């Protein structure tokens, strides 16, 4: 799952980027509003974390520009502005939630999961296609209601990408896009290695290979 972080403070940005990487999110970090809008115009993101106090184009202006283009990307504001007026302007302007600095990373991650669940139209924290279920909070997967199996961060990211779009074939580059952020080295045969590891843990039929095209999990199996 890919996240765009828009934050001009280097210490806060590094801390959030590190926490998101540890939580299996591929994260791209930009430091001003105009770069954020340019990036959103050429790259798909599953969620945006937006600071309000940005140089040049203010965060609320960035938010207005995103929603004016009918971009429905889930968006969570992270800011030191804790006044009621700022919160209301952000939420009324199209933000899905609001976190005031300073905050605990655990709270930020929980709010991100909640926003993604609401946008996905489900109150359940788990992703499932009827056969395999994945719990984002624990990074555990289970097959046909069996005992949960712990996944590594990247195993979780790959299976999550497939379960978000059951029935869709995802290519190697699409899966790498969900696993790696900007500047991260893409390891040779990483996708094949992770799929092999997932099949060993969950069974060979969970992830299907469409030769020459990519991989998929079945829809509503």
Residue 73 confidence (pLDDT) above 50: yes
Can you tell me the mean pLDDT for 192-220?
A: 92
What's the chain's average pLDDT? 88
Q: Taking phi first (over 0 means left), then psi (-120 to 50 degrees means alpha), and beta for anything else, what does residue 214 get?
A: left
Question: Given this model, what pLDDT does residue 123 score?
Answer: 47
Tens digits of per-residue pLDDT, 21-50?
888 788 999 999 999 999 999 888 889 999
Residue 124 confidence (pLDDT) above 80: no
Question: Given this model, what pLDDT does residue 76 score?
Answer: 96
Who has greater pLDDT, 118 or 72? 72
Can you tell me the mean pLDDT for 193-214?
A: 93
Can you tell me the mean pLDDT for 184-203?
A: 88
Please give the Cα distance from 207 to 168 (Å, whole number).
12
Band of residue 120 on the pLDDT scale cut at 50, 70, 90: low
Tens digits of per-residue pLDDT, 153-162?
889 889 988 9
Give the HSE-up count for residue 215: Cα atoms under 13 Å, Cβ half-sphere: 24
Secondary structure E strands in the chain? 2-6, 26-30, 47-50, 75-79, 97-100, 127-128, 132-135, 140-143, 149-150, 208-210, 214-216
Can you tell me the mean pLDDT for 72-81?
A: 90
Q: Which has the closest alpha carbon to 138: 160, 108, 121, 116?
A: 160
Q: Which domains does the chain have, with CATH numbers?
A: 2-120 (3.40.50.2300), 127-216 (1.10.10.10)
């Amino acid at each position: 799952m890919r996240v765009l972080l828009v934050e001009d403070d280097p210490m806060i940005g590094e801390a959030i980027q590190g926490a998101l990487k540890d939580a299996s999110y591929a994260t791209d970090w930009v430091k001003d509003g105009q770069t954020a809008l340019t990036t959103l115009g050429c790259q798909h993101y599953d969620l945006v974390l937006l600071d309000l106090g940005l140089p040049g184009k203010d965060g609320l202006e960035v938010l207005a520009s995103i929603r004016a283009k009918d971009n429905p990307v889930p968006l969570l504001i992270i800011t030191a502005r804790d006044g009621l007026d700022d919160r209301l302007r952000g939420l009324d302007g199209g933000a899905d939630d609001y976190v005031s600095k300073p905050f605990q990373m655990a709270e930020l991650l929980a709010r991100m999961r909640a926003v993604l669940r609401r946008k996905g139209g489900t109150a359940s924290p788990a992703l499932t296609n009827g056969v395999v279920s994945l719990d984002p909070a624990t990074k555990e997967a289970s097959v046909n209601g069996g005992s949960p199996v712990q996944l590594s961060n990247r195993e979780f990211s790959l299976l999550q990408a497939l379960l978000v779009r059951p029935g869709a074939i995802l290519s190697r580059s699409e899966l790498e896009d969900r696993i790696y952020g900007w500047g991260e080295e893409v390891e040779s045969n990483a996708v094949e290695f992770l799929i092999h590891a997932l099949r060993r843990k969950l069974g060979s039929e969970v992830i299907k290979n469409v030769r020459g095209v990519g991989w998929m999990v079945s829809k509503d199996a």
